[in-house]
């Protein structure tokens, strides 16, 4: 099955939280970029809907995103697992990913881990300190600036992070950075990272990303 071939039996249901949550957002963008039909159901986290019995039957730990698909015997949890399942099933021609065993695939994995682990922990800290407790921002801002600097270490010959083209690496890292714009009101674009800003705007202009807003 190629990126654009989807059978009538592919009836996906994606449970997400608020639109800016990086784990949910990267999945929404990926599905939209691949033109995979799905139904998006937003769980009202702010109202505690994820603790309701009906949702706990789907997600015992009350976490989003969750993907319900006829191809699996039970709901698929954890954004990384959902991401990999979508890539393996719907991106077999590697339009947005790289072939297993290639140098590009190794670098893709590096950026996916960076987004999910290093970046995610700092973004959560940014939201907590800036929005929740309104703490002194200087230290957290320095930490975030160091992560933006790492984005300058991507493919030096291209705006994209890996292989000279837009990929899931860009989607996952962008979703984390976009979270800061929405939730922590950090003016990172004033910090002088022109290549990061150019990369950020290039992704923001894509139809698949706009659709997932």
Domain residues for the domain of 22 are: 12-90
116 occurs within a structural domain:
yes
Residue 145 lies in a domain: yes
pLDDT at 194: 77
Residues 129 and 197 in one domain: yes
Residue 97 domain-assigned (yes or no) = no
Would you say 131 and 184 are in contact if contact means Cβ atoms under 8 Å apart?
yes
Backbone angles phi, psi at 155, to 5 degrees: -65, 110
pLDDT in tens, 88-120: 999 999 999 999 999 999 999 999 998 888 776
pLDDT classification of 46: cutoffs 50, 70, 90: confident
Does residue 112 sit within a domain? yes
**62, 125: one domain:** no
Q: Is residue 2 part of a domain?
A: no
Question: What is the pLDDT, as a whole number, of residue 8?
Answer: 47
Residue 46 is part of a domain; what is its CATH number?
3.40.30.10
Whether residues 204 and 145 share a domain: the answer is yes
Residue 49, domain member (yes or no): yes
The reply to whether 161 and 82 lie within a common domain is no
Q: Does the pLDDT value for residue 128 go beyond 80?
A: no
In a shared domain, residues 63 and 135: no
Same domain, 115 and 33: no
pLDDT digits (tens, 9 = 90+) for 147-199: 555 555 555 567 899 999 999 999 999 998 887 665 555 555 545 677 788 88
- Neighbour-count burial of 119, counting CB atoms closer than 10 A to its CB (0-12 exposed, 13-18 middle, 19+ buried): buried
Q: Are residues 124 and 72 in the same domain?
A: no
Confidence of residue 4 (pLDDT cuts 50, 70, 90): very low
**Do 82 and 31 share a domain, yes or no?**
yes
**DSSP designation for 118:** I
Say if residue 124's pLDDT is above 90: no
Question: What pLDDT, on a 0 to 100 scale, did the predictor assign at position 28?
Answer: 95
3-state secondary structure of 71: coil
Q: What is the pLDDT of residue 1?
A: 42
Look up the CATH number of the domain holding residue 139: 1.20.1050.10
**137 and 52 share a domain?**
no
Q: What's the whole-number average pLDDT of the chain?
A: 81
Q: Which of the residue ranges 44-53, 58-67, 144-153, 199-208 would you say has the lowest mean pLDDT?
A: 144-153
Helices (H), the chain: 22-33, 53-58, 79-90, 103-113, 120-127, 138-151, 168-179, 194-204, 207-211
- DSSP per residue, 143-200: HHHHHHHHHTTS-TTSSSSBTTB--HHHHHHHHHHHHIIIII---GGGGS-HHHHHHH
Measure Cα distances from 193 to 51, 177, 180, 182, 189 in Å: 41, 13, 15, 19, 7
Quote the pLDDT of residue 118: 78
pLDDT at 85: 97
138 and 78 in a common domain? no
d(CA 1, CA 211): 23
| Confidence grade of residue 34 (pLDDT, cut at 50, 70, 90) | very high
If asked whether residues 113 and 83 sit together in one domain, one would say: no
In a domain, 98, yes or no: no
Residue 96 falls within a domain, yes or no? no
Number of domains in the chain: 2
The verdict on 108 and 162 lying in the same domain is yes
Give the pLDDT score at 126.
58
């Amino acid at each position: 099955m190629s990126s654009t071939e989807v059978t009538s039996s592919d009836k996906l249901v994606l449970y997400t939280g608020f639109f800016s949550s990086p784990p949910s957002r990267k999945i929404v963008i990926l599905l939209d970029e691949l033109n995979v039909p799905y139904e998006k159901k937003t769980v009202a986290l702010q109202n505690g809907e994820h603790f309701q019995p009906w949702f706990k039957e789907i997600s015992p730990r009350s976490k989003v995103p969750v993907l319900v698909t006829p191809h699996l015997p039970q709901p698929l949890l954890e954004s990384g697992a959902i991401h990999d399942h979508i890539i393996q099933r719907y991106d077999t021609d590697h339009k947005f990913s790289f072939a297993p065993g290639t140098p590009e695939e190794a670098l893709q994995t590096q950026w996916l881990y960076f987004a999910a682990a290093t970046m995610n922990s700092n973004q959560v800290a940014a939201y907590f300190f800036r929005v929740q407790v309104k703490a002194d921002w200087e230290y957290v801002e320095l930490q975030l600036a160091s992560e933006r600097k790492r984005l300058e270490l991507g493919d030096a010959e291209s705006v994209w992070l890996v292989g000279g083209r837009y990929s899931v690496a860009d989607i996952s890292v962008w979703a984390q950075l976009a979270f800061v714009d929405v939730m922590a009101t950090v003016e990172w674009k004033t910090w002088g990272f022109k290549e990061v800003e150019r990369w950020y705007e290039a992704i923001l202009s894509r139809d698949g990303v706009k659709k997932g807003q």
